[in-house]
Structure 1
Amino acid sequence: MAKTLGPVKRKFSPWTDSSAKPFIRFENITKRYGDFTAVDNLTLDIYEREFFSLLGPSGCGKTTLMRMLAGFEEPTEGRIFLQGKDLSGTPPYKRPTNMMFQSYALFPHMTVEKNIAFGLQQDGLSKADIAARVEEMLKLVKLDSFARRKPAQLSGGQRQRVALARSLAKRPKVLLLDEPLGALDRKLREETQFELMDIQHTLGLTFLIVTHDQEEAMTVSDRIAVMDKGEVVQVATPAEIYEAPNSRYVAEFIGDINLMECSVVGNRAGDPPVVTLECDGLTVAVEQECAASVGDRVAFAVRPEKVRMSIDPPADSSVNAVHGEVWDIGYLGDFSVFLVRLEDGRIIRAAQANVARLVDRPITFGDMVWLSWPLDAGLVLMR
């Protein structure tokens, strides 16, 4: 079986099919507010039934992009297409989209079932159709027994599910989720992420979520668009974003990583190709095809969990191996993070899974240790 980057979430990848047409297309979209450019000449395709995430720091343009799709903002330049139809000039209430806000925006004086029914009543559905749809939504979000309660009588997670049911009741073609889980505690947020995935797969809808939470985006998404300063920096699956970031920015933004500035001293083609780097006295070899030339300045990146730590030196300590002192330790339950200080003062992080409750020779503060990693563990970044 061919090697792949990380586990395959599901057998669904229309973006790899050159004949597949995008369900949503942002085409050369720019949005300006006076002298400030929130979104800068952005083009992005999203496919039907995708769970797609816009991920980035505050102010990167992700919410603005979603609001333009919903019709709450108009692009300064460019066009947005949904199923091939240009949405220019189409008001929000005529777009086949619905948005779920972080605040949930439930009516406090209405019961759960009346909150869910509100939008359907506005659309003029019959009482029988509304009752059937509300019952369907209550079962979907597992709130059958809470139908007659009011929002104040619900937990945060239950209110979140009422808001989700209300958003889905009108059967939009696209559900827009703006930081939908930000108000939940960590454990409930993790549980709800999987519930969202199950609901999205069950209904076969297209979900577009805006978040600054990396773990959330990595958990729920089929693909992620990492944004910075109004631009999309990389679009890929969660595993590709994590294992093969295309830049220093993406590598540092997603997860924890060790980054070193280096010079290319060798670039050997072959099977496998190997790039050799000189990183301020440390020789690093990377199994990777790379367009860099000898003498170019690049970055070497390696994730802490890919770094092996031992008291004894590795079999070959001439490459991809460093010696240093354990400077600090973070115990996180399922794994521990070790900060190892090299002789030149650099800090390298190593992560170890805590697979056993008892350890014969635990590595602790002040220990001198060796860090090493295989050829295919690291990555050369040219930008």
Structure 2
Amino acid sequence: MKSLGSIRRSFAPWSDPAAKPYIVFENVTKRFGDFTAVNDLSLSIFEREFFALLGASGCGKSTLLRMLAGFDEPTSGRILLDGQDLRGIPPYKRPVNMMFQSYALFPHMTVENNIAFGLKQEGMAKADIEKRVADMLKLVKLEQFAKRKPHQLSGGQRQRVALARSVAKRPKVLLLDEPLGALDKKLREETQFELMDLQQELGLTFVVVTHDQEEAMTMADRIAILDKGEVMQVATPTEVYEAPASRFVAGFVGNVNMFEGKVASRDAGSARISGGNGLTIKTENAGDASAGSDVVFAIRPEKIKVSSKKPADAEANVAEGEIYDIAYLGDMTVYHVRLADGQVVKASSLNAVRISEDPLSWNDRAWISFRPDAGVVLTR
């Protein structure tokens, strides 16, 4: 069996029919007055999974997190954690902890006292608190900052303190609401990997809310893409990117080119599609498209090759156009190629060598081409 892309780890309980989900949203609806934030949503999350809720503002992802934490109750439906219905159980009695984007650290307390706060509230013995705090400081690599106060720390360090405080009580589930939103780009990228390593080390179930596609793709084992309170697709990052379930998902995650067309013929998993510009598309990923149906062929920019000459013996998956724009990004170059009917196709090329053998410039005539397995047919 061929893989769609790189596999980060073999962990995949969702593919085992006998595996029991750890968290279950069962036909959950949440209304605020006349506004429906979550609409009859069902979703399963497995133990030890790093799960991301991804979507634009107002899609319902934070509402889901708040209902799981106990800050809001569903209007209808059930939320189960390890088989237990959470309805009516207050937040402080749920085996979950939530880390907010603002971190919500106590400014008058030292780092170690911030971490210890929840443990003291639970009445843990002083010696046990000291050991647990020491373990948490070591875990987030902040031992030398134990006596400092939040204002004496960088944004990344405050984020680690909030994380240490969140996991100090050893919850079964850690909920993270836009946890890296306050960090700069470079620190955010570094912290993503630290969170992944920490989740693996602790063996906890992480549920993260984010609007950042790259963040979700980097950290999560699976991603639920939400829109208007409904789930559009639940899949691994690779599946979401390489095999989107709909036009919405294809357009929401990453960059994509979409060609409208009609299925001229079907043969097993392959299809021949007649598109605009006289473009004929031959694809090996026809999905459930039937002959004669109107479809969209979606393909990512990095799967399209741009050249000054027509590829030899090309009778499909090739079209001529004009270089409309070029963006040199260092590691790659992005071309915008305008086809005969005005559609602009985006193609990206990795700058693997310092000198191009086929230089292209603005207003040059150029050919785009792609392999039969490079894109996917979408019927919805």
TM-score normalised by the chain length of structure 2: 0.98
Tell me, yes or no, if the aligned pair for 1:275 and 1:290 is still in contact at 8 Å: no
| Mean CA deviation greater in 34-43 or 260-269 | 260-269
What residue identity is the alignment partner of 2:93? K
1:31-85: CA deviation from partner (whole Å, max 9, x where unpaired): 0111111000011000000000000000000000010000000000001110001
Q: CA deviation at 1:360?
A: 4.2
Q: Which residue number corresponds to residue 267 of structure 2? A: 268
Distance in 2 separating the partners of 1:346 and 1:152: 52
What residue identity is the alignment partner of 1:195? E
Task: Give SS of 1:164's match.
Answer: helix
Distance in 1 separating the partners of 2:181 and 2:328: 25
Task: Give SS of 2:259's match.
Answer: strand
In the alignment, which of 315, 332, 335 is matched to residue 332 of structure 2? Answer: 335
Distance in 1 separating the partners of 2:133 and 2:160: 13
Distance in 1 separating the partners of 2:288 and 2:218: 32
In the alignment, which of 356, 360, 364 is matched to residue 359 of structure 1? Answer: 356
Distance in 1 separating the partners of 2:79 and 2:291: 44
What residue identity is the alignment partner of 2:94? R
Pairing 1:23-42 to 2, within 5 Å after superposition: 23-42=22-41
Q: Which residue number corresponds to residue 273 of structure 2? A: 277
Count of aligned residue pairs for this structure pair: 379
Identity of matched residues, %: 64
Distance in 2 separating the partners of 1:200 and 1:26: 22
| Mean CA deviation greater in 286-295 or 136-145 | 286-295
In the alignment, which of 308, 314, 319 is matched to residue 322 of structure 1? Answer: 319
Q: CA deviation at 1:292?
A: 2.3
Task: Give SS of 1:344's match.
Answer: coil
Q: Which residue number corresponds to residue 108 of structure 1? A: 107
1:201-226: CA deviation from partner (whole Å, max 9, x where unpaired): 00100000000000000000000000
Distance in 1 separating the partners of 2:246 and 2:346: 20
Moved over 3 A (4+): none
Task: Give SS of 2:138's match.
Answer: helix
The answer as to 2:236 corresponding to 1:240 is no
Q: CA deviation at 1:357?
A: 2.4
Tell me, yes or no, if the aligned pair for 1:277 and 1:283 is still in contact at 8 Å: yes
Distance in 2 separating the partners of 1:141 and 1:152: 18
Task: Give SS of 1:260's match.
Answer: strand
Pairing 1:225-236 to 2, within 5 Å after superposition: 225-236=224-235
Tell me, yes or no, if the aligned pair for 2:289 and 2:377 is still in contact at 8 Å: no
Unaligned runs of 5+ in 2: none
1:326-360: CA deviation from partner (whole Å, max 9, x where unpaired): 11112222212110011221100110011122334
Give the aligned CA root-mean-square deviation in angstroms.
1.0
Q: Which residue number corresponds to residue 298 of structure 1? A: 295
Task: Give SS of 2:188's match.
Answer: helix
Distance in 2 separating the partners of 1:68 and 1:147: 33
Q: Which residue number corresponds to residue 130 of structure 2? A: 131
Distance in 2 separating the partners of 1:286 and 1:331: 30
Q: CA deviation at 1:361?
A: 4.0
Distance in 1 separating the partners of 2:3 and 2:369: 23
Q: CA deviation at 1:368?
A: 1.3
Task: Give SS of 1:103's match.
Answer: coil
Distance in 2 separating the partners of 1:184 and 1:93: 28
